[in-house]
Amino acid sequence: MEDGYSLLDSTMYAMLVRLGSHKRQIAAGLEELGLRLGQELYLALLWREDGLSQSALAGQAKVSAANVTQVLHGMERQGLVVRRRDDPDARIQRIWLTEAGRALESPVTEIWRAAETAWLSGLTPTQRRAVELLK
């Protein structure tokens, strides 16, 4: 480009590269639990508020309804969640954790905590403070 900008020199690319190994660490830990990367987000939303509607889950995950439907099918087959029609409004499907889904909260949280701790340990105090501002 004329202005000398290169994605390879961008801050975002540097962040993605630094986070890549930690993403692989998370994915490997989740795989040991029988999960695929991304499923933990839906679980975490349900751990915070079980019984979300499918549309609320999509909104909070910032994904399309079609994406939620696809992921939930897999999670249902794994026995992690069940979908039930809402009693007051049968047009709404609510997503509920099963015991197996609830049981994953601690191990999944620890996988993420370990990866975050490892990533943050490689940052300077100034960098850590800047990252905290992103929350």
Is the same domain home to 45 and 22?
A: no
Q: What is the Cα–Cα distance from 77 to 12, expressed in whole angstroms?
A: 36
Alpha helices in 4-84 (DSSP H): 11-32, 39-48, 54-61, 65-77
Report how many domains make up the chain: 2
Q: How does pLDDT run across 89-131, given as a tens digit for each residue? A: 878 889 999 999 999 999 999 999 999 999 998 888 888 888 8
Residue 22 CA to residue 133 CA, distance in Å, equals 20
Q: By residue range, what is the domain housing residue 23?
A: 7-35+104-135
| 74: amino acid identity, one letter | G
Q: Which has the higher per-residue pLDDT, 123 or 1?
A: 123
- Work out the end-to-end distance of the chain between its first and last CA atoms, rounded to an integer number of angstroms: 33
Q: Are strands 81-85 and 93-97 parallel, antiparallel or unpaired?
A: antiparallel
CATH of the domain at 63: 1.10.10.10
**CA dist., res. 18 & res. 123, Å (int):** 10
pLDDT in tens, 82-92: 999 878 887 88
